[in-house]
Amino acid sequence: MSRPALRVTTVAAALVAATALSGCGDTSGGTAASYKGEKISTEQVQDAVRDITTEQPTSQFDPTSAAIFMVLGNDLESLAKKHRVYTSADVARQAFKKVTNPTDAAVRSVQGSFNFTSLRDSAAGNPDLQKLFKDADVILNPRYGTWEKGKGPVDNASNWIKGSAEPALN
């Protein structure tokens, strides 16, 4: 069996394409995202982005996507299994060719991306995916943007440090 090609989806672009998808919360420096008792650390996000961009430098895979794919991973997996479009962690791991030992965080992010994309592209799975994003109440560290329940990630907070001065315009 040939190894699948690594093609990850960024959440922001995927959400626009999927339309009307959905999420907000713990903003401690070490937690990137939390949902239903699952916590994703900023270190996991950094590991995932590093491995994925090493594997596919032009992917433009961002930290927000990594955090969301990991924190929603269990629900994405359940829905993908239900609709028979599931991608296993083993298949996600096989997608790495340049990175010989990807971190678990990278594999989880890729698996979440694959399951998200399969659900989005599935006539039967897309409504359940939209419902997940409509109902999910993800707590996203402001460093990674804002999660608005009913919409999902609504921005990438480029200036996430409160009180920092804006650069002067000349």
Per-block average pLDDT, block size 10, for the chain (170 residues)?
58 42 45 94 96 93 94 97 97 95 97 96 96 93 89 64 42
pLDDT at 29: 55
pTM over 0.85: no
Taking the CB of residue 105, how many other CB atoms lie within 10 A of it? 24
Inside any domain, residue 5: no
pLDDT at 102: 97
Inside any domain, residue 160: no
pLDDT at 8: 66
Question: What is the Cα Rg of the chain in Å?
Answer: 16
Residue 41, strand partner residues = 31
Amino acid at the residue 20:
A
Inside any domain, residue 32: yes
Inside any domain, residue 91: yes
Inside any domain, residue 52: yes
